[in-house]
């Protein structure tokens, strides 16, 4: 079965950048759409960004649009989330997930993550001065 492992989280100052990575193993990740989700302490999980199997479609939550970029390298079974212009409100545990959402746009905007059946354990991003 598909396994996912996130990495790249850490402490960064406001305005800084981080790149999160998600390594897939077990099966080829190109069979699945990929999403990034996040959950801050005491808050519900929210969608961040999702990308289609072929990388032909991608979308973002309004709160990160223009600052974050999702990408994937199917040959390497790797997925990424480039985060720029980070804000304190971006502080959260970030999770990558894989599955078959019906709509990439909905995937990116909902923490419900319908159709996303495989999950990593998360990586913590802290944005603070």
What is the Cα–Cα distance from 127 to 85, expressed in whole angstroms?
10
Q: Name the burial class of residue 126, with classes exposed (0-12), middle (13-18) and buried (19+) by CB atoms within 10 angstroms of its CB.
A: middle
Q: Name the burial class of residue 96, with classes exposed (0-12), middle (13-18) and buried (19+) by CB atoms within 10 angstroms of its CB.
A: buried
Q: What is the pLDDT of residues 11-37, one digit of tens each?
A: 999 999 999 999 999 988 899 999 999
Residue 18 is predicted with a pLDDT of: 98
Q: What is the pLDDT of residues 81-113, one digit of tens each?
A: 999 999 999 999 999 999 999 899 999 999 999
| Three-class secondary structure of residue 33 per DSSP | strand
Q: Could you give the maximum distance between any two Cα atoms of the chain, in Å? A: 40
């Amino acid at each position: 079965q598909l396994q996912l492992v996130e990495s790249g989280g850490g402490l960064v100052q406001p305005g800084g950048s981080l790149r999160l990575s998600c390594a897939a193993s077990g099966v080829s990740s190109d069979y699945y759409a990929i999403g990034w989700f996040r959950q801050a302490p005491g808050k519900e999980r929210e969608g961040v960004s999702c990308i289609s199997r072929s990388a032909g479609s991608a979308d973002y939550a309004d709160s990160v649009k223009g600052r974050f970029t999702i990408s994937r390298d199917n040959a390497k079974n790797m997925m990424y989330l480039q985060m720029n212009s980070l804000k304190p409100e971006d502080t959260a545990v970030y999770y990558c997930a894989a599955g078959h959402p019906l709509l990439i746009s909905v995937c990116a905007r909902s923490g419900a993550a319908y159709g996303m059946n495989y999950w990593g354990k998360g990586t913590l991003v802290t944005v603070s001065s």
